[in-house]
């Protein structure tokens, strides 16, 4: 791995510095970080008996949280990125198991977009679930329209019931996995838009 003049640093240091920058280096570092510990997904399936889709979402959410914490300075380098990410990932997996055991009877949504909430990461699911429960569908649609064209199109296709493979073909993404991570990033942007709206009230 090399990020231009950062190749002399350790893997962790190079990734952290690159993520704190803007531009291509940051995108490459985020992709590298995601790929580097992707085997955690299999650990989630094995250790926590999670379906692959849920283990993938927990891992993607852990990576997003880590990137956010690196940028904001919350990550203090007291542990390796591997240890830090796995701790977040493990907590996400445990949360999924708890929700399964305590909320088995709580699924009562009737709209297609609501039926899909179990397929996305917790951080994004919470905010969209809130909107649906408050019947603020107009707000949800407006916020989606504020996202960039790619995010808007991806989320709308997902809401219409297209799977990741279909979306990859329609939007010319390389793989379905790229669609999944892109969707999670778009949902995180959506969460931030809604959170900003709440903060300015």
Rounded to 5°, the CA angle 123-125-128 comes to 115
Candidate CATH numbers 3.90.950.10, 3.30.565.10, 1.20.120.530, 1.10.1740.10; the one for domain 8-102:
1.10.1740.10
172: left (phi over 0), alpha (psi -120 to 50) or beta: left
CA-based nearest residue to 31, from 42, 18, 41:
18
| pLDDT, tens digit, 9 for 90 and up, residues 111-162 | 344 444 444 444 444 555 555 555 455 666 777 778 888 888 888 787 777 8
| pLDDT, tens digit, 9 for 90 and up, residues 9-22 | 678 999 999 988 87
For the chain, percent of residues with pLDDT exceeding 90: 20
For residue 49, count other CB atoms closer than 10 A to its CB: 10
CA-based nearest residue to 186, from 64, 33, 15:
64
Looking at residue 118, what is its pLDDT? Answer: 42
| pLDDT, tens digit, 9 for 90 and up, residues 89-117 | 999 999 888 887 765 544 444 334 444 44
CB 154 within 8 A of CB 179: yes
Higher pLDDT, 62 or 130: 62
The pTM assigned to this predicted structure is 0.56
For the chain, the structural domain boundaries read 8-102, 112-199
For residue 46, count other CB atoms closer than 10 A to its CB: 10
């Amino acid at each position: 791995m090399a990020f231009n003049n950062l190749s002399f640093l350790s893997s962790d240091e190079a990734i952290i510095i690159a993520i704190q920058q803007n531009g291509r280096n940051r995108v490459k570092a985020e992709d590298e970080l995601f790929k580097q510990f992707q085997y955690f997904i299999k650990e989630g399936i094995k250790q926590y008996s999670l379906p692959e889709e849920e283990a993938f979402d927990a891992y993607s959410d852990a990576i997003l949280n880590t990137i956010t914490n690196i940028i904001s300075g919350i990550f203090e380098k007291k542990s390796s990125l591997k240890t830090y990410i796995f701790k977040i990932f493990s907590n996400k997996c445990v949360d999924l198991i708890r929700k399964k055991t305590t909320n088995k009877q709580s699924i009562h949504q009737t709209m297609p977009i609501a039926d899909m909430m179990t397929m996305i990461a917790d951080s994004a699911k919470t905010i969209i679930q809130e909107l649906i429960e408050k019947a603020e569908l107009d707000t949800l649609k407006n916020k989606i329209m504020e996202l960039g064209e790619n995010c808007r199109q991806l989320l709308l296709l997902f809401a219409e019931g297209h799977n990741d493979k279909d979306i990859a073909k329609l939007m010319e993404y390389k793989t379905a996995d790229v669609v999944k991570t892109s969707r999670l990033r778009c949902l995180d942007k959506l969460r931030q838009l809604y959170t900003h709206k709440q903060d300015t009230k």
